[in-house]
Amino acid sequence: MVVMDPIRIVNRLVAASRCRDEETASHVVRVGRYASFIASRLGAVEDFARDIFHAAQLHDVGKIGVPDYVLRKRGPLTSDERVQLRRHPKIGAGILGQSNMSILRIAADIALGHHECWDGSGYPNGLVGVENPLAARITMMADVYDALRSVRAYKRAYTHQEAVQIILDGDGRTMPGQFDPQVLDVFSATHETFDSIYRGFLAIPPVSGFGIHGCINPNSENNMCLLVDGQPAREQPQTFS
C-alpha cells in the first residue's frame, strides 16, 4: 500500500514549473486564494473550495514544455512563438491527467481550460460557456486579475482600479463577455477582497532555496497552507492500494 500526499505532489510540480517561468511563488498562491474565495462565494462545498486553492496553483504547469526563449522573451512574440506558448494548456493537462486524486483531476481541468472564454474566444479548444469546467472558469478570472496587477515583459502593473475597469468594462483585449457571468458578478461585488489578497501576498519566500511556502491564514477554520515538507493543517494524505 502506497501513501501519497496530494499537497506535496502539487507543491513539487509548482516548484518545477517555477524553474521555467518568471511567475513567482506569490503569483501562484494569490491565484489559488482568489480561486478559493470565488468558489466559496459561489456556494461551493468546503472540499472544493479547499482543493481549488491547491489545484489552481498548477494552472501554468504546462509551460514546462514551452521553450525558454519563448517564455523569457522580452517583447512581443512572433506568430510561431505564440503558437508554441498556446500549447501549454494541453501539455499541462497531459502532465496532470489520468490521476485518481481529486486535486490533480481538478488541476488538469484548470490547466486545460484556464485560457478558455465564456464567449468561445479562448484557447486551446474554443469552448463555450459551461463546456469549460467550473474550476477552469473560476481560475481564468483569478489569473486574469493577477496578471493585470503584475509586471510582465509586455506591460506595466495596473492598479486595482485599472484592473477592475478592464475586467468589468473591457479594453479590447480583455472583455467582460469572456468571463462566466456568475464569476464576473462575484468579482464585481467583492473586488476589494481581490485587492486585499494581492496586497497581502506580494512576497512569499522560498523554503531552503527549493519550492515555496506560504499560508493564507494559519489561524482560520479553513486553514490552507502551502508546504514543501510537511502537510498543511487539516489535510490528510490519500491512501491507495
Distance CA 153, CA 23 (A): 11
Alpha carbon distance, N-terminus to C-terminus of the chain: 4
Q: What is the pLDDT of residue 236?
A: 32
Q: What is the DSSP letter of 62?
A: G
Mean pLDDT for 77-86 is: 95
- CA-closest candidate to residue 188, choices 132, 130, 145: 145
Q: How confident is the model at residue 24 (pLDDT cuts 50, 70, 90)?
A: low
Q: How confident is the model at residue 205 (pLDDT cuts 50, 70, 90)?
A: very low
Q: What is the pLDDT of residue 210?
A: 29
Helix 6-18 / helix 25-41 crossing angle, nearest 10 deg: 130
Distance CA 156, CA 19 (A): 23
**pLDDT score of 225 more than 70:** no
Q: What is the pLDDT of residue 151?
A: 85
More confident residue, 19 or 55: 55
Mean pLDDT for 57-67 is: 93
For 135-155, letters b (16+ CB in 10 Å) and e give bbbbbbbbbbbbbbbbeeeee
Mean pLDDT for 69-93 is: 92
Whole-prediction pTM: 0.82
Q: Which of 10-19, 117-126, 148-157 has the highest mean pLDDT?
A: 117-126
Sign (positive/negative) of CA torsion 214, 71, 76, 142?
negative
- CA-closest candidate to residue 37, choices 50, 47, 26, 23: 50
- Pick from 44-53, 142-151, 204-213: least confident: 204-213
Distance CA 178, CA 183 (A): 11
Query: Which cell is 128 given?
Result: 463555450
Distance CA 158, CA 236 (A): 39
Q: 10 with 54: CB under 8 angstroms?
A: yes
Mean pLDDT for 65-88 is: 91
**pLDDT score of 163 more than 90:** yes
User: Each residue of 85-104: pLDDT tens digit?
Assistant: 999 999 999 999 888 888 99
Q: What is the DSSP string of 182-198?
A: HHHHHHHHHHHHHHHHH
- Mention the CATH class of domain 2-220: mainly alpha
Domain chopping of the chain, boundaries: 2-220
Distance CA 90, CA 63 (A): 10
Neighbours of 205 (CB within 10 A): 9
Q: What is the pLDDT of residue 212?
A: 33
Neighbours of 58 (CB within 10 A): 29
Q: How confident is the model at residue 133 (pLDDT cuts 50, 70, 90)?
A: very high
Mean pLDDT for 52-76 is: 91
Distance CA 43, CA 185 (A): 13
Amino acid at 63: K
